Chain A
């Protein structure tokens, strides 16, 4: 896993929050792509196939297609994001149980607070560790 200094572009944060708002009260979900240096560069909104306020699941076909196009651009999956529409942006028991990507960052936002918080975590073998995130202006 590449090291990450916690810097996260504000423009990407704004895209994630806009996505969360656009599907409220459902949970939103998506990916953040990273470049070869392990820096976050792009938000990729995905469909929550469950259209639920308390659950999310990506469509495997959409995951497949996004991975293919990222590969052709020399980018990689860097983070998985989702929203908790009205609860704290921390991983739930379900989030932890279904976290199959210990190498990625898990970003959570919540519309509970204004401005919405965005927090980042690593979830490995059922253990959650917060990775402090700092919003930066301009390019990460």
Chain B
């Protein structure tokens, strides 16, 4: 399955400035594995030491947060769009 991946601005230095890239894979996990190999450095930005998606990284497949589907096991079909969305948060405490 060929999938379009939207890269947020803070990760573009790792994708040679590209704001979207294409990969093939049948699940979110497969796409993350491909990105990790193809773009050194992106793996540790997206995944923690155990290989889980970091808490402050949100991944959408089309219009839906993968947390409300099957997480990284979420199946992908041809033409799906995967968006990587780092959280925006803070606080005075």
Contact residues in B for A31 (Cβ distance below 8 Å) = 88
Measured between alpha carbons, how far is A55 from B93 in the docked complex, in Å? 7
Q: How many residues of chain A have a CB within 8 Å of chain B?
A: 33
* B93-A100 in contact (CB<8A): no
Q: How many residues of chain B have a CB within 8 Å of chain A?
A: 19
* A27-B91 in contact (CB<8A): yes
- Chain A residue at minimal CB-CB distance from B20: A71
Q: Is B86 an interface residue (CB 8 A)?
A: yes
Q: Is B9 an interface residue (CB 8 A)?
A: yes
In the assembled complex, the CB of B74 is this many whole angstroms from the nearest CB of chain A, namely 15
Provided the pairs A98-B56, A102-B10, A104-B9 are in contact, do residues A60 and B85 lie with their beta carbons within 8 angstroms?
A: yes
Interface of A is mostly: mixed
- Chain B residue at minimal CB-CB distance from A54: B93
Q: Is A8 an interface residue (CB 8 A)?
A: no
* A91-B90 in contact (CB<8A): yes
* B83-A64 in contact (CB<8A): yes
In the assembled complex, the CB of A72 is this many whole angstroms from the nearest CB of chain B, namely 13
Contacts of A32-80 to chain B: CB distance below 8 A: 46, 50, 52, 54-58, 60-61, 63-64, 67, 76-77, 80
Taking beta carbons and an 8 Å cutoff, which residues of B are in contact with A?
8-10, 12, 56, 58, 60, 63, 65, 83, 85-93
Q: A50-B91, A94-B91 are in contact. List 14 more A-B contacts (CB 8 A).
A: A55-B91, A56-B90, A60-B60, A64-B58, A64-B60, A64-B83, A77-B9, A95-B90, A98-B87, A98-B89, A100-B10, A100-B56, A100-B88, A101-B88
Closest 3 A-B residue pairs measured CB to CB? A55-B91, A95-B90, A57-B89
Taking beta carbons and an 8 Å cutoff, which residues of A are in contact with B?
27, 29, 31, 46, 50, 52, 54-58, 60-61, 63-64, 67, 76-77, 80, 82, 84, 87, 91-92, 94-95, 98-104
Chosen A-B contacts, 14 in total, with CB atoms closer than 8 Å, are A55-B90, A55-B91, A63-B58, A67-B85, A77-B9, A92-B92, A94-B91, A94-B92, A95-B90, A95-B92, A100-B10, A100-B87, A103-B12, A104-B9
